Structure 1
Amino acid sequence: MKILMIRRGLRLLATGNLNSSPLIFRRHSSYSTSFFSSSSRLNANFAADDLLLGNQLATLASEAEIAPNLLQPGVVVYDGVCHLCHNGVKWVIKADRDKKIKFCCLQSKAAEPYMSVCDLDRDDVRRRFLFIEGPGLYHQGSTAALRVLAHLPLPYTALSYLMIVPTPLRDAVYDHVAKERYKWFGKSDDCLVLREQDLLDRFIDREELLERSRSVL
């Protein structure tokens, strides 16, 4: 019976119909009066268990609804040890006078929920940087770069019109540069922004990076 209750409860959680449940907030109608008449204590225990299950499922539903909203829009997740990537980030910070774009190093724990919600892992983002433009809207590679440019003021935003170039062609160029970037531009042992901490105000993983910096000293 308890297994049945849990299964039905999970179905209700999936549909969001918690408040109308005869299972969670009161005993199920299939519990006959005669079955429980021999023990009022057993009756009360089942009712308490049902209410507890209802509270737990309601909490899970609330957390599931709130969690996506904790992720900020307009976030670039990039390879923090790559010199080319870091210089690109510095250029965007300088051009982005309205401070629309925020950043996060791929190597930080703070990047994990952003990658997770996009169903990506670190290797995916190492190959092609990630731009979370808004809820349910993210881009990688050349498209991500052009969408970032679209949020910058003129004249930089005009570069976003390169979106008319076919994606396979754009990504072919992007992927070639990305593959050779360490050889051509170099790679650091740790996130390069730690050397220029005046930039950290634009990083959502600022506290994590500062803590890492203090631990090295």
Structure 2
Amino acid sequence: MASTKNSSTGSRPQATFAEAVSRALGPHGGVLLIDAECVLCNRFARTVIRADREGLFVLIPNHSETSARLLAETRIPEPPTGTIVLLKGGRSYTYSDVSLNVWADLGFPWSLTKIGFLIPCALRNFVYKLVADNRYRLFGKTTACGLLSPEERRRVLMG
């Protein structure tokens, strides 16, 4: 059995930030990178936090140092503008796949949205991008996160 110790220092190698986040979330958890200025994105994030009773997801503002560090360590390219990103199981999801995968993981009644996977991806993403491109005009911008309980704040990684 190979040792996990660093031979030059005799100590265990430091886990990367991405590895630490992955271990903390477990095999079924995920990280959501959200547009912290988008009112619609904030509503989505708050709904996920409140519906996620098992603590499967953590949220990170997508233009933060924490987000940049996570993307760099996982070698995931900078996400397209106007999409929430889900990092889960070593994969990244964008556009309509994010919400469908998140809702599916949250159990009943949210999991009923899996029927959305029957809609062709190109059509789902066309509608997603249409809303995303107009999100500030339709829903507005915010500079402050809504009031979160201490438990909810624990699920948002700032930085």
- Pairwise TM-score range, normalised by the shorter structure: 0.7 to 0.9
Distance 2:122 2:75 in 1: 21
What amino acid is aligned across from residue 126 of structure 1 in structure 2? Answer: T
Say which of 84, 97, 110 aligns to 1:129. Answer: 84
- Which residue of 118, 132, 146 maps to 2:100? 146
Answer whether contact 1:102 1:203 (CA < 8 A) is retained.
yes
Which residues of 2 match residues 136-215 of structure 1 at below 5 A? Answer: 136-188=90-142, 190=143, 192-193=144-145, 195-198=146-149, 199-205=152-158, 208=159
Distance 2:140 2:71 in 1: 25
1:17-76 Cα offsets, whole Å, 9 max, x none, are xxxxxxxxxxxxxxxxxxxxxxxxxxxxxxxxxxxxx838x99xx45xx32412334110
TM normalised by structure 1 equals: 0.59
1:125 & 1:158 partners in 2: Cα distance?
A: 27
CA–CA distance in structure 2, aligned partners of residues 186 and 131 of structure 1: 23
Cα distance in structure 2, aligned partners of 1:115 and 1:86: 21
Quote the Cα distance in structure 2 between the aligned partners of 1:70 and 1:180: 36
* Matched-pair identity in %: 23
Hey, what's the Cα distance between the residues in 2 that align with 1:162 and 1:183?
Answer: 26
* Aligned-partner Cα distance in 1 for 2:58–2:44: 13
Structure in which a larger fraction of residues adopt helix: 1
Cα shift readout 1:98-127 (whole Å, capped 9, x = no counterpart) = 221111111321111332325322xx3532
Say what the alpha-carbon RMSD is for the aligned residues: 2.4
- Contact preservation (8 Å) 2:36, 2:42: yes
**Which residue in the other structure is 1:120 paired with?**
77
| Equivalence map 1:56-67=2 (5 Å) | 62=13, 66-67=15-16
Matched, 1:75 2:31: yes
Partner of 1:98: 54
- With the length of structure 2 as denominator, give the TM-score of the two structures: 0.78
Unaligned runs of 5+ in 1: 1-53, 209-217
C-alpha separation in 2, matches of 1:159 and 1:69: 30
Report which of the two structures shows the higher radius of gyration computed on alpha carbons.
Answer: 1
